[in-house]
């Protein structure tokens, strides 16, 4: 059954790109798994946004109710023709009792087609952790970090061949990148195709391997990575940096970099969601008579706050829009000021006399 992407994002069918983007950011912030949201709902929202934010995909969806990607020659399990999906998926709709979890795995095992596997040459993903200060969450910031990993060999530019030499056809697979295997099963003999172990599926091997990378097309080196951290990020949120993981072998696609964020506790402010809290001590006289006091903000500036007369210790005042920016990019949290009345110590003789008079007056 076709999903209603417009309904998922809560927008009309004639919604503008900006309206779709705004709706996505709001819902993504609400349902993000790292903010306690529903991961399944978050993926559904992201799926809807990926289609409706793309002009071509949206046009296909509006016309057909589906998005047909990879149509050319992409006939596979569950498809009756290039690009047309009639809601039938071997891998999802059936289970098979021959030691494999589904039909798709059976076809992959016996015939060498089905779910596309990640190439051995593709670079690995990298996961790291990064600590930032609470005040860093107020604005989008850029961090540069050194990272030891596989990078593209500068001598051969990732080809694996010594400069001035060529890549030649792999003798083992004859340039196809695959080798044929015959497998005997209870159902009979089956032919399958697997990645060529000699060329790792490329179909070509260096005529002469690069002297630096020994034909790998990559070397281990420390590289400085730029990471753009959005405003409003919180502890345990993960930022994906595309193709900044390890370089692939012989020019294959690089992996991705996943950065897990940790926000250091602040010595003055405490964060709860996108709101921040601060304890401010006030004198007994200010609590009784009221006054205006200066309150520090997270960005280092100050703001004037009016303390009403007769304030009791523990009263909390709200300052709208002075908290952490929402991760969605729209609006900010609030700042809450907890007023605490200081009990005076080491009073002077005059102060004691004045307090005695107030005591006599019943204050």
pLDDT at 124 over 50: yes
Question: How confident is residue 351, by pLDDT bands cut at 50, 70 and 90?
Answer: confident
Residues 6+ apart with CB under 8 A from 51: 5, 57, 58, 61, 67
State the CB neighbour count (10 A cutoff) for residue 332: 18
Residue for token pair 């604005």 = 139
d(CA 284, CA 201): 78
Q: Which residue has the higher pLDDT, 99 or 230?
A: 230
Q: What is the pLDDT of residue 75?
A: 36
Query: Does 260 score more than 80 pLDDT?
Result: yes
- Average pLDDT value for residue range 256-263: 95
Residue pLDDT, tens place only, 204-237 = 888 899 999 999 999 999 999 999 999 999 999 9
Q: Are strands 316-319 and 275-282 parallel, antiparallel or unpaired?
A: unpaired
Helix, strand or coil for residue 75? Answer: coil
Q: Three-state DSSP class for 163?
A: coil
At residue 14, does pLDDT exceed 60?
yes
Domains, the chain, in order of start with CATH, read: 5-68+75-111 (1.10.287.110), 270-360 (2.60.260.20)
For residue 17, pLDDT beyond 70: yes
- Confidence band, pLDDT 50/70/90 cuts, at residue 74: very low
Which residue matches tokens 């790998």? Answer: 216
Instruction: Specify the range with the lowest mean pLDDT, choosing from 165-174, 218-227, 290-299, 336-345.
Output: 165-174
Look at residue 357 in the predicted model and tell me its pLDDT: 85
Question: 118: pLDDT confidence band, cut at 50, 70 and 90?
Answer: very low
Q: Pull the structure tokens for residue 284.
A: 């007994």
Mean pLDDT in residue range 291-318: 95
**Residue 140 scores a pLDDT above 50:** yes
For the chain, the average pLDDT equals: 82
Residue 341 to residue 1: CA distance in whole angstroms: 62
Mean pLDDT of all residues in 340-363: 83
How far apart CA 230 and CA 196 sit, in angstroms, is: 43
Nearest Cα to 120, choosing from 249, 243, 214? 249
The strand pair at 126-132 and 257-263 is best described as: parallel
Q: By mean pLDDT, which of 29-43, 134-148, 263-277, 326-340 is the weakest?
A: 29-43
Q: Over the stretch 168-191, which tens digit does the pLDDT of each residue have?
A: 888 888 888 888 877 776 656 677
H or E element: which one contains 308? Answer: none
Please report the pLDDT score of residue 259 as a whole number: 95
Listed in sequence order, the residues at least 6 apart from 232 whose beta carbon sits closer than 8 Å to its beta carbon are 137, 274, 324, 325, 326, 327, 328, 329
What local confidence, expressed as pLDDT, does residue 57 receive? 87
| Residues 263 and 234 sit within 8 Å (Cβ to Cβ) | yes
- In angstroms, the CA 11 to CA 51 distance is 14
Contacting residues for 108 by C-beta, under 8 A, at least 6 apart? 114, 115, 117
- Position with higher pLDDT, 307 vs 120: 307
């Amino acid at each position: 059954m076709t999903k209603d992407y417009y309904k998922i994002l809560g927008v009309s069918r004639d919604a503008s790109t900006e309206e779709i983007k705004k709706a996505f950011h709001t819902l993504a912030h609400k349902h993000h798994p790292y903010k306690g949201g529903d991961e399944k709902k978050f993926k559904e929202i992201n799926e809807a946004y990926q289609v409706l934010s793309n002009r071509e995909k949206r046009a296909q969806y509006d016309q057909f109710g589906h998005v047909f990607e990879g149509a050319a020659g992409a006939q596979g399990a569950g498809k009756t023709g290039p690009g047309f999906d009639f809601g039938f998926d071997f891998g999802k709709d059936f289970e098979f009792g021959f030691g494999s979890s589904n039909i798709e795995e059976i076809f992959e095992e016996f015939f060498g087609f089905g779910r596309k596997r990640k190439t051995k040459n593709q670079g690995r993903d990298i996961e790291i952790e990064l600590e930032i200060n609470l005040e860093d969450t107020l604005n989008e910031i850029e961090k540069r970090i050194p990272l030891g990993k596989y990078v593209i060999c500068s001598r051969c530019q990732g080809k694996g061949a010594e400069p001035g030499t060529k890549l030649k056809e792999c003798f083992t697979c004859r340039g196809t990148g695959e080798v044929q295997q015959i497998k005997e099963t209870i159902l009979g003999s089956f032919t399958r195709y697997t990645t060529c172990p000699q060329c790792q599926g490329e179909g070509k091997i260096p005529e002469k391997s690069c002297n630096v990378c020994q034909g790998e097309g990559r070397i281990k080196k420390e590289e400085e990575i730029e990471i753009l951290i959005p405003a409003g990020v919180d502890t345990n949120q993960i930022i994906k940096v595309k193709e900044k993981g390890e370089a692939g072998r012989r020019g294959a696609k690089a992996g991705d970099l996943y950065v897990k964020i940790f926000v250091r506790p602040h010595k003055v402010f405490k964060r709860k969601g996108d709101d921040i809290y601060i304890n401010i001590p006030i004198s007994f006289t200010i609590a009784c008579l009221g006054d205006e006091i200066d309150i520090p903000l997270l960005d280092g500036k100050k703001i004037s706050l009016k303390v009403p007369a007769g304030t009791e210790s523990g009263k909390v005042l709200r300052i709208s829009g002075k908290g952490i920016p929402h991760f969605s990019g729209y609006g900010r949290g609030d700042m809450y000021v907890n007023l605490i009345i200081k009990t005076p110590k080491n009073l002077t003789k005059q102060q004691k006399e004045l307090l005695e008079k107030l005591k006599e007056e019943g204050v």
